[in-house]
């Protein structure tokens, strides 16, 4: 085999390796984000870093029940995260800031605690920075204990609720709701 021909073949082979290998390499570098019910740890990791205008690839899986994934201040549609399966998302942020991501499925009593942040850094073409979430601007600690004056001894249960409704025919009549809905508070 002549030397130029050998070099050309070598180049083609190297090109094929690169075309197949590079996506696999980058795919494997994308960490898998695990979703668990908040009482079992929530998102792991719960802080993700990204750069402005650079696509952020995410792979997500659930270790327990069905969860959802959505990001505040973006128009991305929510993604379902099924136990044992991997969902993929690619996001691009055009403004730096701290974005909140959260679960969109009612996965447990502490579903609303299932949050994490995406910290986006870098220079933006856009003159305005991302809006600061209201609870941040108001310095509210939404995870602080907010105990009700009376705490029921039994935890709420969807199953018990369904049984109660099924065994209470009056709860299925719309008249009941018209006559028993809470009165508006005047103060």
Interface contacts to Cu ion, rule CB under 5 A: 67, 103, 107, 114
Contact 129, 97 (CB under 8 A): yes
Task: Report helix, strand or coil for 8.
Answer: helix
Q: Cβ 141 to Cu ion, closest distance in Å?
A: 21
Q: Cβ 24 to Cu ion, closest distance in Å?
A: 30
Closer residue to Cu ion in complex, CB, 118/130: 118
Q: Cβ 71 to Cu ion, closest distance in Å?
A: 14
Q: Cβ 105 to Cu ion, closest distance in Å?
A: 5
Closer residue to Cu ion in complex, CB, 99/130: 99
Element (H, E) at 34: strand 32-35
* Angstrom distance (rounded) from CA 98 to CA 113: 17
Q: Kindly provide the residue ranges of all beta strands, DSSP E only, lying in 20-148, ordered along the sequence.
A: 32-35, 43-44, 47-51, 56-62, 67-71, 79-81, 87-91, 97-102, 115-121
Nearby residues of 135 by Cβ (< 8 Å), 6 or more positions away: 142
Closer residue to Cu ion in complex, CB, 51/82: 82
Q: Cβ 155 to Cu ion, closest distance in Å?
A: 17
* Angstrom distance (rounded) from CA 98 to CA 52: 12
**Sign of the torsion formed by the C-alpha atoms of 81, 87, 93 and 96:** positive
Closer residue to Cu ion in complex, CB, 110/124: 110
* Angstrom distance (rounded) from CA 1 to CA 19: 25
Closer residue to Cu ion in complex, CB, 67/95: 67
């Amino acid at each position: 085999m002549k030397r130029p021909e050998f070099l050309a073949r070598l180049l083609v082979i190297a090109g094929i390796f690169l075309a197949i290998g590079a996506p696999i390499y980058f795919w494997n570098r994308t960490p898998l984000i695990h979703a668990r019910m908040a009482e079992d740890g929530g998102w792991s990791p719960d802080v993700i870093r990204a750069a402005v205008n650079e696509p952020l690839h995410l792979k997500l899986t659930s270790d327990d029940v069905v969860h959802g994934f959505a990001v505040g201040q973006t128009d991305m549609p929510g993604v379902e995260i099924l136990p044992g399966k991997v969902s993929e998302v690619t996001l691009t942020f055009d403004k730096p800031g701290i974005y909140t991501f959260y679960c969109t499925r009612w996965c447990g009593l502490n579903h609303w605690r299932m949050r994490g942040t995406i910290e986006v850094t870098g220079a933006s073409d856009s003159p305005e920075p991302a809006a600061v979430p209201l609870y941040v601007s108001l310095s509210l600690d939404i995870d602080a204990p907010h105990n009700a004056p009376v705490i029921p001894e039994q935890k709420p249960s969807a199953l018990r609720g369904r049984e109660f409704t099924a065994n209470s025919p009056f709860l299925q009549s719309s008249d009941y709701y018209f006559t028993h809905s809470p009165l508006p508070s005047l103060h």
